[in-house]
Amino acid sequence: MMDQIITVVSTVGFPIAMCVIMTYYYHTSIEEMKKSLNSLNDTIATLNGKIDALIGGRRAGDDKRD
């Protein structure tokens, strides 16, 4: 692995190699964040469904008191 990195750096230059490495890191980080956000959205939707079931479909502001 280290030999491959040294070969890439010596072939294309340090700035270009670093741009490629940083782009790869950025892409993988964004994909992980997307997975986490999708999981969080699913969890929030599930909790909202459970809350609606517990309170009988009422939400804040829907409470009509006469």
Indicate if the pLDDT at residue 62 is higher than 50: yes
Please tell me the pTM assigned to this model: 0.57
Over residues 15-38, the pLDDT tens digits come to: 888 898 899 999 999 999 999 999
- Cβ-based neighbours of 52, under 8 Å, separated by 6 or more: 59
Over residues 3-19, the pLDDT tens digits come to: 988 888 888 888 888 89
Indicate if the pLDDT at residue 64 is higher than 60: no
Q: Where are the alpha helices (DSSP H) in 1-66?
A: 2-12, 14-55
Q: What is the pLDDT of residue 26?
A: 96
Q: What is the pLDDT of residue 60?
A: 60
